[in-house]
Amino acid sequence: MTYARNDGAFTPERQVPMDTTAPAPPLCRLDDIPDGEAIAVDAALPEGEESLIVIRRGGVAHAYLNICPHAGRRLDWAPGKFLVKDGVLVCAAHGASFNTGDGLCIGGPCRGEHLHAVAVAVVDGEVRLD
């Protein structure tokens, strides 16, 4: 039996490093959120998958975990539907009221506490984790 030699058969090809710093996909487009209102989005955070509240005020977006600090329940009254009026977000479960700009509870059972903020930025009309 005769074996043929194939000099290149077992030589590994040069590997090109992968770009592992690709940006995360956008959470949403700013235009998806009516001005002064909020939507819920799911986001992959370092701690795991979380539901976020994204609130729009003009060309700025603020995001918070969709968890009330009072009882640990979601803030929406129906999936993705929030009670927001005049810059105040109201928890549907117990009526805690939060400033939309900084997440401070200004009324209700957790007065003085804050929603857990998540850093976001608006880039080219898209809301992205910052």
Residue 88 domain-assigned?
A: yes
Residue 85 domain-assigned?
A: yes
List all residues 6 or more positions away from 24 whose beta carbon is below 8 Å from its beta carbon. 44, 128, 129
Residue 7: its pLDDT value, please? Answer: 57
Residue 110: its pLDDT value, please? Answer: 94
Would the pTM count as exceeding 0.85? no
Q: CATH no. for residue 79? A: 2.102.10.10
Q: Do the beta carbons of residue 53 and residue 103 sit within 8 Å?
A: no
Range of the domain at 59: 28-129
47-55 contacts: CB < 8 A, separation 24 or more?
Answer: 50/118, 52/27, 52/118, 53/82, 53/89, 53/115, 54/27, 54/28, 54/120, 54/127, 55/84, 55/89, 55/100
Residue 24: its pLDDT value, please? Answer: 79
Our count of domains for the chain comes to: 1
Residue 2 domain-assigned?
A: no
Residue 23: its pLDDT value, please? Answer: 72
Residue 18 domain-assigned?
A: no
Residue 130: its pLDDT value, please? Answer: 92
Instruction: Give me the average pLDDT of each 10-residue run along the chain (130 residues).
Output: 56 59 86 97 94 97 96 93 96 94 96 97 96
Residue 13 domain-assigned?
A: no
Residue 60 domain-assigned?
A: yes
Residue 83: its pLDDT value, please? Answer: 96
Residue 121 domain-assigned?
A: yes
Closest CA to 27 of 52, 60, 46, 49: 52
Residue 1 domain-assigned?
A: no
Closest CA to 115 of 62, 73, 65, 57: 65
Residue 107: its pLDDT value, please? Answer: 96
